[in-house]
Amino acid sequence: MNHSTPEPKPVHLAVYDTFADWETGHTTAYLARAGREIRTVGPNREPVKTVGGVRIQPDLALDELRPEDSSLLILTGADLWDTGDDLAPFARKARAFLDAGVPVAAICGGTAGLAREGLLDDRAHTSAVSFYLAATGYKGGERYVDADAVTDGNLVTAGPTEPVAFAREVFGLLGVYEGEVLDAWYRLFHDSDPEAYAVLEKAGQ
């Protein structure tokens, strides 16, 4: 009999015009290195263009994405979060994921989208600054945490200047890296700590 662990479900990265290139690079690169499949999900299947001018062809459209087919939905920042309701369907999808017990990770503008959707009213969270979220009119101000990144249950949030802390929280939530290895990964990429490299080397053997 074959008792091998089933393949983990893919991680879904939301992509849309003005997507902030730098915010999820560490997260997706190291999830992929750990053997996780990354699939991009756009508003539809038309190509999108990041804030850095990189064209991305989505693997699937938002309405094709089901929480039961995913291990995580990542919502990246984008100018579009703050200029209208174009990305509101992505926040509604995040609600479906959280309702189904599937994790969501949001950074920068993605956190404002979740705030508008009411998903931060009763969860500890962070963002760029508290008044950025306060401007959404949400009711979760008392749950705001002044930290680089925050995990509450199945939800990770971070501000735009914390892509490494964001990745750390995602890896911890998914169990990709744990304990001293997770700590060493963060120290290497956040603090350029040379001693952390040795820990990762040893763990990789």
Catalytic residue among 14, 98, 107, 108, which? 108
| Burial 89-107, CB ≥16 within 10 A → b, else e | ebbebbeebbeeebbbbbb
Q: Are strands 38-42 and 60-61 parallel, antiparallel or unpaired?
A: parallel
Catalytic residue check, 108: yes
Lateral strand order in the sheet of 60-61: 60-61, 38-42, 11-14, 72-75, 104-107, 155-158, 149-152
| Nearest-angstrom CA–CA distance, 121 and 125 | 9
Helix or strand run (H / E) with residue 74: strand 72-75
Question: Which residues are marked as active site?
Answer: 108
